[in-house]
A and B are shown apart, each in its own frame.
Chain A
Amino acid sequence: MAVRKVERSRERLYEEALAGLQAIVGEEWVSNDPAILIGYSRDQSLEIAHKPNLVVLPESTEQVSEVIRLANRYGMAVTPWSTGGNTGGGCIPQRGGILLDLRRMDRILELDPLNMTVRIQPNVTFGKCYVEAEKHGLRNANPSAPASVSMLANYLDKGVFQVSNRYGVGTDSILGMTVVLADGSVVRTGCDAYPGVGHVCAEGPGPDLGGIFHASMGIFGVVTEMVCQLYPIPRCEDVQSCEFEEEDMEGPAAYLRELAREDCAIETILFGDGYLALGVSENQDAAEVLRPSLPRHNCIAFIGGEDQEEVDIRRRQLLRIAARTGATPSAEALHEMLKDLLPWRRVFKIIQVTPRIERFSGMFELFWFNIEMDKAGEVHRRFTQLARRNFKDTDESKSELPFPPEEVTFYLQPLEFGRTGMLELDAFPNQAEPEGVKRGLKMAAEAIPLILDCGGLFDRPYGGVNSGFGWAQTPRLGTYYELLKQFKATLDPRNIMNPGRLALPSE
């Protein structure tokens, strides 16, 4: 009886909140219909599906602020959603409440070609921004995500790009933000903190408050505007790939580190044969035919410059590094294939591998982390052994996976001029079968401490059920973590902002 009473009272609260939200954004842009709510129950991750209780589509910072004030009054969880492509369960409203769909905020508010900046709203996709930027000879970063995802959310979540060695990760490109806090107040950071100063201050003023929102997955507030850097498109571009046949990653990682240190390429990435085959082929079948002809490790560099002369100079520099580190320049046939990815916006074609291979009988087990380049080989080797141990004797006949279950696919991107790199290692348990799921969970439980032991750092410590990288490293963070918890308690005392998303045990 008591339970029913509580449920009735919750229902009444949601009905009241529905009316309140309608008053803020208009009836058309709010719903509590299950058919509408279920659309927001999953994202790119394999997190457990969960519906919100209400969904609201505001069109301005002011409306977002009013919605959050209302949520605070009712103590309802708020899950922000820009384009919904999060890979860590960040968009799934695990505790119900209000889903804040920011889709209507889709404008490029300002593009400053002179200072190479752009001011965007949450639902400006990478695709949309690059169409505008290209008109001015500029580009935004191309992410490890499709062109359909939110540029603002990806930058905020420390997205790693093919250009990251030269220009940094997503958060390095942020110059200023407008953030609605958990009490509905609005804070402006970086260059936006002092109105009218232009783009003079990416950090601060003073201690950088903007940093608290980086990779925070909306637990401290909702970013409704962002000013970001754009980069020049080189007048002349070409591609140079070098390869390694051996299984170990030490050689390719050393080559990439040198390449990154000398900064002779604009975009640099190491693809294993599996991903590269998928990326350059039209479909799965074609990829399977192509793959045996590809080298195991393919270090791809897009080099650019003012003219062909500059490109040739950089190519010679790159080939000297290759000779020094034992890399073999790839065959002309592979270069012809890779040239198809120029101009640079076509690199998205490779990135579309992600949705292509996703959820073949479940999703691949995906681990991405930062690690020093000279440690990449060891973690790759140990991870591969672990995958083989866990997935040997798997019944492949029931699997539709693009790779054998004991296979490990990967890509590695150098960061910070080779000081570190972003390594993604993917395993392929057959999640269509209970046995495969069991093995997959065991693999994850063993892989996370292995990666940490090898010196890996999960710099985006998602706190999801399945992608719980963050929980495992929490004990090692000590006071850092205690401080984060205190920030959370101060900024969001009712814990309404995307609760449970960042691995904060007190939530």
Chain B
Amino acid sequence: MGSFTRNQFDPLLQVAKDAYRCGKCMLCKYIDHNEMSDIRFLNICPPGTRYQFEAYFASGKQEIARGLLQGDIDYTDRLLHAIFTCTLCGGCQAVCSVAGDKNPLKTIVALREKAVRDGMAPLPGHQAIFTSIENYDNPWQQPRARRDAWARKLKVKDASREKVETLLFVGCTYAYNAAAQTAVRDLARLMSAAGLDFGILGREEPCCASPILRIGDFETFRKRAEANLRLLNSTGAARVVAPCAGCYSVLKEEYPDFGEEDFEVISAVELLEELVEEERLKPRHRLARRVTYHDPCHLGRYCEVYDAPRNLLAAIPGLELTEMPRRRENSWCCGSGGGVKTAFPELALWAAETRVREAESVGAEVLASACPWCESNLRDGSRDRLEVTSVLTLLAESVLREVG
């Protein structure tokens, strides 16, 4: 008898209870009322705020799930638009979980999974990602040969050939995106400065398959996750450090469903926080700038890493950390997650512009984050009004630059 797998059933059956039980309290549209401070920044759902119809909020998606289950509605372009413009930021979930035991994010994920199984998705706008990952093992249509180009001038060990204590799982975006590479180079330099025994898989590093999962192709994700897990276990590294929030969240939260991880998964900001605490890295150079921090959804709401990046920023002499009205669990998504940046770039840009305005509202000169997707999208939204950078880069500036 075969095992009881997720694949045998309509994914919506797993969330039917929530779809029927949604109490329509409408809390999923706003940040926690205890955190409300500026009426311009109370909303938590990017597609709902942009398109306004109920179907674009979590409460409406519960109705879509119920409608599909009951056969009341069928697929339309608008239905797919409502499902796939969600950035899967988990804001609705963060608020809903305060009040009840329901999981709207799970419903949205199930809707996507069902759409893929029913042959309605991936959408044309997502197809390039799938083809690219299949052909090049990254979503950016870049040759595998260039995957380690960012590290050429750095002396980083090749973990596919020699055993290292710590494996730096770079991620496709840090590896290929020119603007993002600065941050991962800074991270590698910081790890070297702290004397860590670390390496990268270079051209052998696979895509973590997060984009495939988020778009709803669970089966393809499962196969890739199982293969990736085998590869990572085979390196013998005790720790895997993931600087990309997307990679980190699947390595930490999803892969363990497919087998045991013989390593500890840690985000780059957590690792650096540890190194600063142990005084293996000393932020010495003064950075007299007013900085605000944007919580990446996959690092914050998905993995509850909120304090580490803030502690790093607070450790930098002269740096003034100022908080935006929407922060931590109540953070506003940058707009690029869940395949939105690829398929609905206008929505992604609108969400980023909204976030930049929020950063400006607290007088920030610098908008820092800890995810290459967020940083890239926020940079697009900023149009040079604000400096958008990584916490890794700011720390490197303070630690590695000569004082004087």
Contact = CB atoms under 8 A, between A and B. Distances in A.
A283 B29 CA distance: 21
Interface stretch (A100-108, A387-395, A489-497): A100-108
Contacts of B257: none
Nearest to A104: B52
A159 B63 CA distance: 27
Contacts of A83: 26
Contacts of A108: 39
B82 A359 contact: no
Contact of A346 (B26, B34, B60): B34
Interface in A256-295: 283-284
B79 interface: yes
A125 interface: yes
A127 B78 contact: no
Contacts of A39: 53-55, 57, 59-60, 63-64
Contact of B25 (A284, A349, A354): A354
A42 B30 contact: no
Given A146-B99, A345-B33, A38 B63 contact: yes
A352 interface: yes
A147 interface: yes
A90 to B, nearest CB: 12
Contact of A355 (B23, B29, B76): B23
Interface stretch (A28-36, A163-171, A372-380): A28-36
B63 A127 contact: no
B54 A84 contact: yes
Contact of A148 (B21, B29, B60, B63): B29
Given A148-B26, A148-B30, A354-B25, A35 B36 contact: no
B151 interface: no
B4 to A, nearest CB: 22
Max chain A CB contacts within 10 Å: which of B23, B27, B36? Answer: B23
Contacts of B76: 33-35
A35 B33 contact: no
A55 B60 CA distance: 13
B330 to A, nearest CB: 12
B78 A38 contact: no
A29 B42 CA distance: 22
A136 interface: no
B404 interface: no
A355 B78 contact: no
Interface in A103-127: 103-104, 108, 125, 127
A352 B42 CA distance: 18
Interface in B42-75: 42, 52-55, 57, 59-60, 63-64, 66-67, 72-74
A35 B52 CA distance: 14
Given A42-B24, A44-B25, A146-B25, A352 B82 contact: no
Interface string B85-106: 0000000000000111100000
A335 B233 CA distance: 53
Max chain A CB contacts within 10 Å: which of B29, B53, B57? Answer: B53
Contacts of B25: 44, 85, 146, 148-149, 352, 354-355, 358
A103 B99 contact: no
A67 to B, nearest CB: 16
A355 B42 contact: no
Contact of B24 (A38, A85, A101, A127): A85
Contact of B22 (A40, A346, A356, A359): A359
B135 interface: no
Contacts of A248: none
Contacts of B26: 83-85, 146, 148-149
Contacts of B66: 38, 49
A42 B54 CA distance: 11
B304 to A, nearest CB: 16
B318 to A, nearest CB: 32
A128 B78 CA distance: 30
B360 to A, nearest CB: 19
A147 to B, nearest CB: 4
Nearest to A343: B34
A250 interface: no
Interface string A325-348: 000000000000000000001101
Nearest to B18: A359
A345 B21 contact: no
B98 A352 contact: yes
A-B residue pairs, 4 tightest by C-beta: A39-B54, A39-B60, A35-B79, A355-B25
12 contacts: A31-B53, A34-B79, A35-B73, A36-B78, A39-B60, A40-B54, A57-B53, A83-B26, A131-B39, A147-B27, A149-B26, A348-B34
Given A35-B55, A39-B64, A84-B24, 8 more contacts: A35-B76, A38-B67, A51-B72, A108-B39, A131-B42, A147-B27, A149-B26, A359-B21
Interface of B: 20-27, 29-30, 33-34, 36-39, 42, 52-55, 57, 59-60, 63-64, 66-67, 72-74, 76, 78-79, 82, 98-101
